[in-house]
């Protein structure tokens, strides 16, 4: 089987359709910002907060796929496990998988101890990714990719069952410093200093946007390092990379460590507004991967920039539909906003089958 790659086999039609759709969305919000600025600003902040969370999870998918050519179906379960480890550290006050007390949580101010505890949880998440790669994925190098994908499904079932058992009876709080608090933009302030009528923006939106920005900057600079170039070479052709002396096993390990850490970060934000209001790990936390999947596909399964753009587009579409089509909820159904991302994904794939930034590939048998 020969594989021929083309830079742009779709012509200019798909680009025109995408540009037209995005222009219409921008025009819509420009009008809304004039007509109803408070609601439009609040909706945009919420959309970018959700889109940033999707982008973080999507980036984890992309890194693992670029490094190993495997779609990691266990991403949602790993997100839930990572969030659980944060709960063990900050709510239970002990190191995950041990009975040792976590001294970091006693550091003042509280937010500093919490942040350091999260870093420890991310280290555990990375170690879990490394173990998965060494024990399960690396022995499958050279084997059919379908078999490896099925293995990740098995991992998803195993980790999901374990995590569900931990939260089925009682939710596991993360004790996030900002909670569901936020700030108000605009509005009027009375004599008592209380502001009303403005756009409420939750701190979790800002935290998600900042985290996504840091994650993508880190990946941007990593891809310009020696190991980053090696990962891109492996993503292009594993056999050719091995022939050039690139350590494919090391690339696999880095991809899984990074992907698992990003899954854990996504799991943390999956407990926060606008996705959830509990601030605790629940059974629903695992679904963040399936909610982010349209962003992965829309942006392109092998594209880092596609993960960011796809996440923001899907977040914007979901929140916009939820806000401005709510009057039709009786006809569309209560859960219609969760369907919108998949509709956008389907339309996007009809226009550009490999995603907006995915690598087009023509197969000739």
pLDDT tens for residues 119-151? 999 999 999 999 999 999 888 877 788 888 899
Per the rule left: phi > 0, alpha: psi between -120 and 50, beta: everything else, 141 is beta
Residues in the chain: 365
**Residues 6+ away with beta carbon under 8 Å from 354:** 300, 360, 361
**pLDDT tens-digit map of 64-79:** 998 888 889 999 999 9
Report the alpha-carbon distance of residue 333 to residue 335 in Å, rounded: 6
For residues 319 and 292, is the Cβ–Cβ distance under 8 A? no
**In which band, very low, low, confident or very high, does the pLDDT at 10 lie, cut at 50, 70 and 90?**
very low
In this predicted structure, what is the pLDDT of residue 206? 96
- 65 membership: H or E segment, kind and range: helix 37-68
3 pLDDT above the threshold of 90 = no
Please name which of 316, 211, 310 lies closest in space to residue 274, comparing C-alpha atoms.
316
361 pLDDT above the threshold of 70 = no
For the chain, domain boundaries: 2-184+199-364
Tokens of 7: 């830079």
pTM over 0.95: no
88 pLDDT above the threshold of 70 = yes
Please name which of 297, 287, 79 lies closest in space to residue 174, comparing C-alpha atoms.
79
Architecture of domain 2-184+199-364: Orthogonal Bundle (1.10)
CB neighbourhood size of 218 (10 A):
12
Please name which of 86, 90, 112 lies closest in space to residue 264, comparing C-alpha atoms.
86
**pLDDT tens-digit map of 216-260:** 999 999 988 888 888 878 777 777 777 777 888 888 899 999 999
**pLDDT tens-digit map of 284-339:** 999 999 999 999 999 998 899 999 999 999 999 999 999 998 888 888 888 889 99
Per the rule left: phi > 0, alpha: psi between -120 and 50, beta: everything else, 144 is beta
Least confident of 38-47, 256-265, 324-333, 338-347: 324-333
Q: What is the mean pLDDT of residues 98-104?
A: 90
Rounded to 10 deg, the angle between the 75-87 and 248-269 helix axes is 60
Report the alpha-carbon distance of residue 13 to residue 172 in Å, rounded: 49
In this predicted structure, what is the pLDDT of residue 341? 93
Strand partners, 163: none
In this predicted structure, what is the pLDDT of residue 192? 56
Report the alpha-carbon distance of residue 303 to residue 153 in Å, rounded: 23
Calculate the alpha carbon distances from 84 to 161, 208, 241, 271 in Å.
13, 18, 37, 11
């Amino acid at each position: 089987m020969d594989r021929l790659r083309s830079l742009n086999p779709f012509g200019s039609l798909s680009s025109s359709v995408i540009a037209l759709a995005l222009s219409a969305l921008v025009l819509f919000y420009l009008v809304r910002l004039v007509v109803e600025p408070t609601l439009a600003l609040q909706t945009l902040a919420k959309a970018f907060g959700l889109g940033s969370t999707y982008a973080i999870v999507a980036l984890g998918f992309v890194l693992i796929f670029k490094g190993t050519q495997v779609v990691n179906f266990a991403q949602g379960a790993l997100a839930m496990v990572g969030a659980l480890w944060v709960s063990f550290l900050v709510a239970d006050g002990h190191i995950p998988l041990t009975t040792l007390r976590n001294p970091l949580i006693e550091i003042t101010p509280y937010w500093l101890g919490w942040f350091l505890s999260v870093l420890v949880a991310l280290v555990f998440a990375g170690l879990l990714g490394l173990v998965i790669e060494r024990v399960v994925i690396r022995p499958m190098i050279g084997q059919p990719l379908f078999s490896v994908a099925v293995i990740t499904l098995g991992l998803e079932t195993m980790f999901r069952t374990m995590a569900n058992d931990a939260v089925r009876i009682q939710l596991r709080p993360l004790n996030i410093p900002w909670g569901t608090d936020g700030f108000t933009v605009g509005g009027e302030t009375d004599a008592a200093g209380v502001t009303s009528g403005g756009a409420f923006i939750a701190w979790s939106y800002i935290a998600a946007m900042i985290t996504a920005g840091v994650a993508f900057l880190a990946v941007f600079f990593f891809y310009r390092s020696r190991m980053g170039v090696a990962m891109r070479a492996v993503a292009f052709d594993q056999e050719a990379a091995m022939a050039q002396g690139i350590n494919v096993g090391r690339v696999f390990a880095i991809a899984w460590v990074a992907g698992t850490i990003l899954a854990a970060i996504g799991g943390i934000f999956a407990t926060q507004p606008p996705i959830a209001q509990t601030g605790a790990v629940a059974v629903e936390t695992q679904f963040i991967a399936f909610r982010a999947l349209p962003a992965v596909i829309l942006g392109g399964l092998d594209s880092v920039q596609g993960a960011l753009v796809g996440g923001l587009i899907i977040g914007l579409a979901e929140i916009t539909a939820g806000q401005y089509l709510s009057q039709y909820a009786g006809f569309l159904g209560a859960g219609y906003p969760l369907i919108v991302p998949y509709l956008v994904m389907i339309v996007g794939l009809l226009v550009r089958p490999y995603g907006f930034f995915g690598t087009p590939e023509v197969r000739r048998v």
